Structure 1
Amino acid sequence: MSVTSKVAIAIIVEAVVFVALLFGSAGTLEWGAGWAWMILMFGGGGAVTVLIARRDPALLAERMRSPMQPDQPFWDKVFLVVMGVLWCAWLALMGLDAVRFRWSVMPLWLASVGSALVAVSFWLVARVFLENTFLAPVVKIQKERGHHVVSSGPYAVVRHPLYAAAGIMIPASALVLGSWWGLAASALLLAGLVWRTEMEERELIAHLEGYAEYAQRVRYRLVPFVW
């Protein structure tokens, strides 16, 4: 199957799952904030995908590989399954919270702030993908692709800028969808990102030449001047 076909199938499946979780839990398709979030996510994600396809098709092909690979640490396989379950539960929670039961009442201006932050996060994601051709979706050393340390662009500021972008996108999404419970629960997803950052760094320091020296030069993992 071609990479283009894999991308098309992945987008369709993801869209169906997201709609089912969000609007199924909400109990209605008449949820403007839900559709606004879908447009932001798939508009931003689609734009990044097109950019990668044009600039770095090898990276896109790598990202379309299975999320379970032979040279991937077992802990990362478990992590991806757990995070997938948490993500689905999180989306369903926000549909229940913001629409079906209306536990949360969030001012509209926060949705605007959230939308702006989601857009910023996608801009950062694009910058990261353009800078690092080795951004596989799983933790592994890509010896067959000449894997080496990338220390330019966003990587000169923090060591894991893609996770930093996700750290913006996740709570911002809860603001767009108008869910205080979703905002609180996003802490679980963020904690997962922090844990994976720690575990991934152990792999990189142990197996990627030059990473230990890079980690000494760029002190911060996710948040500049904080951590």
Structure 2
Amino acid sequence: MAADSDSEKTPQGINRRRLVLDLIGLPIFFALFMFLPAGTWTWSKGWLFMFFLLVVVSAGFVVLQRVNPEVIVARSHFHKGTKQWDRILLGFYFPSMLAIVPIAALDEGRFHWFPVPWWICIVGYFLLLAGMVIVTWAEAVNKFFEVTVRIQTDRGQAVIDTGPYAIMRHPGYVGGILTAIGMPLSLGSLWALIPAGIASLVLLVRTHWEDQTLQTELSGYREYALRVRYKLIPGIW
């Protein structure tokens, strides 16, 4: 009975050992790319950021495991059929996002190039939390929320128009941009806004190209786009 219960909670394809390694790997990443560039293990903003991220990411995983475990498997790796232009965009996006942490550590943690008031950090955490909540909400209602852009004929992809998708066509990118901007601000670094801005720009381009792809290749998406007019910001775009 215990084995059956565990299999019901963990969908086929989720590797528990990999999840454990990921959780271990996250602190190692912070040690190498945040505390080493900061030049100290006592950087309080770094510890607060790491604790916040671990709590929110863990909470998001628990929610998804309960309401939409299929998306956890779908997002665990790249899939066949990914658009070549998306691979190129991700080649800019991922390095830009990764660069936020060490640049912020060098700026605020070590050299104090551009000190900012404490309320900037609070604003950053609000943006970061909002972004991660929106992304998790989108993942919770959309089992086709994969890492890359492709038409998922192998999974019977259909238009999703519930949850945040009833308000905007690409809520995941809204959350991604808020997350990118919130990260450097929560760490108290204005210099780290440079890679965050690059990552956000990539997401804007990706939004436009993905929307064009879906309108051309996904059945029912054109009709959905007529009902939900805005890609990212209601009333603007």
Q: 2:139 aligned with 1:129, yes or no?
A: yes
TM-score by length of 2: 0.88
**163-172 or 12-21, larger mean C-alpha shift:** 12-21
**36-45 or 113-122, larger mean C-alpha shift:** 113-122
User: Amino acid of the residue matched to residue 107 of structure 2?
Assistant: D
Corresponding residue to 2:158 among 148, 164, 168: 148
1:25 — aligned with what?
Answer: 37
* 1:81–1:9 CA distance, 2 compared to 1 (3 A): farther
2:87 — aligned with what?
Answer: 77
Larger Rg: 2
- Offset of residue 184 of structure 1: 4.1
User: Amino acid of the residue matched to residue 26 of structure 1?
Assistant: A
- Offset of residue 148 of structure 1: 0.3
TM-score by length of 1: 0.91
Instruction: State the Cα RMSD in Å.
Output: 1.7
Q: 2:109 aligned with 1:99, yes or no?
A: yes
Q: 2:219 aligned with 1:209, yes or no?
A: yes
User: Amino acid of the residue matched to residue 5 of structure 1?
Assistant: R
**155-164 or 17-26, larger mean C-alpha shift:** 17-26
Corresponding residue to 1:10 among 22, 26, 35: 22
Count of aligned residue pairs for this structure pair: 225
Cα deviations across residues 115-151 of structure 1 (Å, max 9, x unaligned)? Answer: 2222222222222122111101111122232210011
| Contact 2:92/2:199 (<8 A) preserved | no
Q: 2:186 aligned with 1:187, yes or no?
A: no
User: Amino acid of the residue matched to residue 216 of structure 1?
Assistant: L
* 1:220–1:19 CA distance, 2 compared to 1 (3 A): farther
Corresponding residue to 1:47 among 59, 66, 70: 59
SS in 1 for 2:201: helix
Give the unaligned 5+ runs of structure 1. Answer: none
- Offset of residue 25 of structure 1: 1.4
Q: Which runs of 4+ in 1 moved over 6 A?
A: none
Corresponding residue to 1:109 among 107, 112, 119: 119
SS in 2 for 1:181: coil
